[in-house]
Chains A and B, each alone.
Chain A
Amino acid sequence: MSDCHDCDGCAVAVAPAPLQKGARTHVVAIIGPPNSGKSTLFNRLTGLRQKVANFPGVTVEQRVGKAKMHGATNHHDVVLVDLPGVYSLNPRSEDEQVTRDVLAGTMPGVPKPDALLLILDCTNLGRHLVLAAPILSLKLPTLVILNMADDLKNRGGHVDTTELATELGSPVALISASKGQGIEKVFQFMEGTSAGTTSLAPPRIELPVLQDIPRCRQWARDIGTGAAYRAPAPPIWTRRLDSVFLHPIAGPLIFLIVVAGVFQTIFKGARPLMDGLQAFIQTSGQWIEHALPPSIFRSLLVDGIWSGVGAVIVFLPQILLLFLFIGILEDSGYLARAALIADRTMSKFGLQGKSFIPLISAYACAVPAIMATRTIENKRDRLATILIAPFMTCSARLPVYTLIIAAFIADRPLLGHFFGMQAGALLGLYVLGFVAAIGTARLLKSSILKSERVPFVLEMPPYRWPTVRSLSLRLIDRSKVFLRRAGTVILLVIVVLWVLENLPVKNGQPPAIADSFAGMIGKAVEPAIKPLGFNWKIGIGLVSSIAAREVIVGTLGTIYQKEGTSESVGLRKALQSDLSPGGAIALLVFFAFAMQCMSTIAVVRRETGGWKWPAIQFSYMTLLAYLCALITNEVVRSGVFT
C-alpha cells in the first residue's frame, strides 16, 4: 500500500513513518450524538490547550485543541477538532452540514481529519450506534468510544468490546470520560494513527447500504445482539429525582427556589471576594502612584487605566459565580427539566422550549446565546430569538446593577434573612428583562415573524454529577474572555475617555472635567437625558457604554476619581450624592432595555446577514429604554412609592 495520506476515497490510511518535526500535523475529529460526553472527552484529552472559534463562513462554534502524545518514540501534538453533536449526517441543520463538510475535507480552513473518535453513550448503545453506520462508511480510521462505562457497569449492563470491534471492523474502547477511565486507549489509538500503524479491517456485519434511520437502527440492533449487549437497568436516581423536580407542585416551586437562590448567592456570596479585589486594586494603585514621579503618564496609568479597568475587573468574582451556576445546572441535567417546565409559558408567547436554552445562556452573554440559536430549524423562530436575546440580563449588566443597587437600595430583609431587598431588586431586574423579551417575542410572532408552530422535541438527559474539572475549565475560559474584554475594548474606551477628559490643555494644566472634551460630550447629551434624571456625568457614561455596558462603571470610576473624590468615599457614595433615587432607578431600567454592546450588534449582523436587523433591534431597544426610563423617573419623582 502506498502513502495515500491525503487522497480521497482510499480505504486505508497509512503513513510511512512517524511524523517528524515540520511534517503535516495529525488531525483527529471527535464526533458523537448530543449528551454522549463529547465535550468531557475533549476536555479530558486537551485540558487547557484548547481554543474556541467559529468555522469559517458559518455560525457553528468550533473547538480546537491539542493533545500531547506520550509515545516512546514520538513526542508530538495531535490536533483535535470537536464537531457539533449530531444524531445523523443528514444535512438538515447547519450543525449537520458543518459536520459533513469537515469530515469530507471540504470545510475551508479545516484540514480533512486523518482519524475519527466516534463517542457513543454505551448505556443507550442501540440508539447511539445508529450514527456509527454513516461514520464508518467514511472509511477513515475510527476509534469507537463507548462512554459512560461506569454507568453501564453500575446499572448491570454489559457489552463485549472485542466482539463489537470485530463486527464493526474498528477498534473499540470502553471508557468513562468524566472519571478518566480507559483514556489511555484513546491516546494509544491516536498514537497508532499518527504513526500510521493502524489498519482497517472489513466489518463483519455489513453496513447498511441505504442509510435511512429504520435500516440503520436495525443494523445497530444486529450489532448489539452480536456483541452480547445488555442494556443497563433504567437510571433509578434520575427517575427518583424527576418525581421531585417534575412534580406538579414541588417542581415549579423548586424551579423558583433555584432561581432565587442563584441570585442571592451571586449578590451576597461574591461580596467578600469583590471587596478583597477592590482593596487590592486600590492599594496597588496607590503604590504605583507613590512609586512614579508625577507626570501625565502617571495620571493616565493610575487615574485612567488602573481605576477604570480595575472598576470593571472587580466584578470578575460575580460573573464567575454566575457561570458556575449555569455550568452546574447544565452539566447536572437540570436545565433540560427547567426548559420543560418553562415550555408552556414560552409557547404562550409564540416561542418554543428550544428558544429557552439560548435565552437562558443569554443570562450569561448574548453573543454565545445568539450563536446557539442555530439549533432552531425554523428561520422565523430563530430570528425572533436573536432579536429578543439581548433583553435577557447578561453578565455585563451585573456590574452596573450591583453598583446602583448597592448605592440606592437599602438591604432590608424581604423574605426572612435569606432573601433581602437588594437581591430582590436584582431578581426584579432579571424578571424585567425577561418580560421585555417575551413581550417583544409576542409582538414579533404575531406580526412580522408569524409562522406555524414548530414541535418542541427535547431529550431529557439522565442526571449526572457535574465534575470539578469541566466546571473549572468553563470558568477559566470565561475569565479569559472577560479579562480579554477588559484588556481590549474596555481599556481602549478608557484610554480614549482619559484623553477626552484631559483635553483641551489650558495653561499646561488639564481642564476640570466639566470643561474637558468628555464633559462637553456629556453636556451635549444632557438635554436629552435630563428628563430621565441623568446629569452630564452619567451622559458621558452612557455614551462610552455603547461599546460595552460595563464600561460605564469604569467611566464613572475615572470621572469621580478625577473630580477628587477620595478613594475612601468610593464610587457608591459619589453616585449617591449625584443621582436622585428616580434617576438611579431609571438608570437601572435604561440598562435593562438598551442594546449597549458592540459585540452583540456585530454578531447579530453576522447571523442575520446584514445591517437591517441589528439597526431595527438597536433602535427599538434604545427607544424602549428611553421611554421606560422616562416613565420610571417621573413615577419615582412624583412619589407614588413613598
Chain B
Amino acid sequence: MLQMSVNSGSDAAPHSAGARTLAQLPEGESGVLDRLELPDDIARRLMELGFLPGHIIVPARSAPGGEPRVYRVDGSEVALRRETASHLILRPSNGKVSDL
C-alpha cells in the first residue's frame, strides 16, 4: 500500500531488502512504482506529477553527466535528481505487473 514514511533525507539506499529503486532502473527498462519513501510534502508533489503507486515509470534522457534524469510517467515527462529517485521504490519485477 501507499507508504510515505518520513525519511532522514540521507542519500543512503533504502532499507527494503532487495527492492529496486527508480535510480537503479536502467534506461530502456520500465518499472512499477510501489511507494515513495519521502517526506509528505515532497511525496505529494511527486504524486501530483504522476508518481503514484502502481504507475509505470520509464527512464528517458538525462542531462549531461547522467543527472538529473527525465522519467516518463502518467503521460508526462518529469526530471528528478538521483537522490530523489533513490527514494522511489519499485515493485519487484518478478511479481505480477498491474496498472492498479
Residue in contact with A343 in the complex, picked from B38, B41, B50, B63, CB distance below 8 Å: B63
Q: Known contacts A123-B75, A460-B70, A460-B79; decide if A455 and B62 are in contact (CB<8 Å).
A: no
Judged by a CB distance under 8 angstroms, whether A416 is at the interface is: no
**A457 in contact with B62 (CB, 8 Å):** no
The answer to whether A90 touches B81, judged by C-beta atoms less than 8 angstroms apart, is no
Shortest Cβ gap from A588 to chain B (Å): 32
Q: Which B1-22 residues have C-beta < 8 A from chain A?
A: 2, 9
The answer to whether A340 and B68 have CB atoms under 8 Å apart is: yes
Interface-centre pick from A123, A341, A456 (highest chain B CB count, 10 A): A456
- In the assembled complex, which residues on chain B have CB atoms less than 8 Å from the CB atom of A452? 9
- Asked if A457 contacts B63 (CB within 8 A), the reply is no
Is A353 in contact with chain B by the CB < 8 A criterion? yes
A8 within 8 A of B: no
Q: Cβ of A214: which chain B residues have Cβ within 8 Å of it?
A: 2, 47, 52-53
Measured between beta carbons, the chain B residues less than 8 angstroms from A196 are none
Check if B97 is an interface residue, CB within 8 A of chain A.
no
B44 engages A92 (CB within 8 Å): yes
A321 CB to nearest chain B CB (Å)? 28
A242 touches B (CB below 8 Å)? yes
Which one of A67-75, A124-132, A385-393 is at the interface?
A124-132
Given the known A-B contacts A92-B44, A214-B53, are A248 and B64 also in contact in the complex, defined by CB atoms under 8 Å? yes
- B48 sits at the interface (CB 8 A): yes
Contacts of A225 in B (CB 8 A): none
Chain A CB within 8 A of B27 CB: no
B47 touches A213 (CB 8 A): yes
Chain A, residues 252-290, CB within 8 Å of chain B (1/0): the string is 100000000000000000000000000000000000000
A251 lies within 8 A of B64 (CB)? yes
Residue of A with least CB distance to B99: A221
In Å, the complex CA distance between A214 and B1 comes to: 11
Supposing A90-B44, A92-B44 touch, asked if A246 and B80 sit within 8 A by C-beta, the answer is no
- The complex places the Cα of A124 from the Cα of B73 at a distance, in Å, of 11
Q: Tell me which of A130, A248, A249 contacts B48 (CB under 8 A).
A: A130
Tell me, rounded to whole Å, the shortest Cβ–Cβ distance linking A464 to chain B.
Answer: 14
Minimal Cβ-Cβ distance residue in A for B50: A127
Q: Which of B48, B77, B79 makes the CB contact (< 8 A) with A213?
A: B48
Tell which of A213, A217, A456 touches B68, judged by Cβ atoms closer than 8 Å: A456
Which one of A213, A249, A455 lies within 8 Å of B80 (CB-CB)?
A455
In contact, B84 and A246 (Cβ under 8 angstroms): no
**A231 at the A/B interface (Cβ < 8 Å)?**
yes
- For window 58-73 of chain B, which residues contact chain A by CB distance below 8 Å? 60-65, 67-68, 70
A246 contacts B48, CB within 8 Å?
no
Indicate whether A242 sits within 8 Å of B49 (C-beta atoms), given known contacts A343-B81, A457-B78.
no
A93 to B100, CA, bound (A): 30
A453 to chain B: which residues have CB within 8 Å?
9, 83
B84-A458 in contact (CB<8A): no
Contact of A458 with B41 in the complex, beta carbons under 8 Å:
no
Known interface pairs A213-B48, A246-B63, A248-B64; A377-B78 also in contact (CB < 8 Å) = no
Nearest chain B CB to A309 CB, angstrom units: 45
- Contact code string A555-590 (vs B, CB < 8 Å = 1, else 0): 000000000000000000000000000000000000
Please indicate the chain B residues that have their CB under 8 angstroms from the CB of A221 in the complex: 100
Q: A130 contacts which chain B residues (CB < 8 A)?
A: 48
Minimum CB–CB distance for A459 against chain B, Å: 5
Interfacial residues of chain A within 152-204, with CB under 8 A of chain B in the complex: none
A218 within 8 A of B: yes
Question: Please, how many angstroms separate the alpha-carbon atoms of A457 and B88 in the complex?
Answer: 13
| A242 and B61 form a contact (CB under 8 A) | yes
Q: Which residue in chain A gives the minimum CB-CB distance to B67?
A: A344
In the complex, what residues of A have CB within 8 A of residue B84's CB?
455-457
Please state if B80 and A459 are interface contacts (CB–CB under 8 Å): no
Is B76 among interface residues, defined by CB-CB distance under 8 A?
yes
Q: Is B96 an interface residue, CB under 8 A from the partner?
A: no
- Specify which of A242, A252, A456, A459 is in contact with B64 (CB 8 Å cutoff): A252
* A472 interfacial by beta-carbon distance below 8 Å: no
A440 an interface residue at 8 Å Cβ cutoff? no
When distances are taken between beta carbons in the complex, the residues of chain A under 8 Å from B78 are 457-460
**A243: Cβ under 8 A from any B Cβ:** yes
Cβ-closest chain A residue relative to B73: A127
Residues of A within 8 A of B50 (CB): 127
What B residues does A43 contact at CB under 8 A?
Answer: none
Those of B28-42 within 8 Å (CB) of chain A: 38, 41-42
Bound Cα distance from A339 to B9, whole angstroms: 23
- The answer to whether residues A88 and B2 also contact, given A123-B75, A218-B100, A344-B63 and a CB cut-off of 8 A, is no
Chain A 336-357: CB-based contact to B (< 8 A → 1; otherwise 0): 0000110110010000010000
Q: Which residues of A contact B81 (CB under 8 A)?
A: 343, 347, 455-456
Measured in the bound complex, the distance between the Cα atoms of B62 and A459 in whole Å is 13
When C-beta atoms are compared, the residue in chain B nearest to A456 turns out to be B81
A346 to chain B, nearest CB (A): 11
Tell me which residues across on chain B come within 8 A of A347, comparing CB atoms: 81
- A55 contacts partner chain B, Cβ-Cβ < 8 Å: no
A87 at the interface (CB under 8 A from B): yes
Cα distance, A340 to B67, chains bound together (Å): 8
On whether the beta carbons of A87 and B68 are closer than 8 Å, the reply is no
- Which residues of chain B are near A213, meaning CB under 8 Å? 44, 47-48, 52
Question: Which listed residue, B9, B49, B80, touches A87 by the CB 8 Å rule?
Answer: B49
Instruction: Please tell me if the beta carbons of A377 and B41 are within 8 angstroms of each other in the complex.
Output: yes
Contacts of B9 in A (CB 8 A): 452-453
CB neighbors of B among A434-460 (8 A): 452-460
With both beta carbons as reference points, the residue of chain A lying nearest to B65 in the complex is identified as A344
In-complex Cβ contact of B45 among A127, A341, A457 (8 A): A457
**B46: CB under 8 A from chain A?**
yes
15 new A-B contacts, CB < 8 A, other than A127-B49, A457-B45, A457-B49, are: A87-B49, A92-B44, A127-B74, A213-B44, A213-B47, A242-B60, A246-B61, A248-B64, A344-B63, A377-B41, A452-B9, A457-B46, A458-B78, A459-B49, A460-B76
Sampled A-B contacts (7; CB under 8 Å): A88-B48, A92-B41, A127-B49, A130-B48, A213-B44, A252-B64, A343-B81
| Leading 4 A-B pairs by shortest Cβ distance | A87-B48, A124-B75, A455-B84, A460-B77
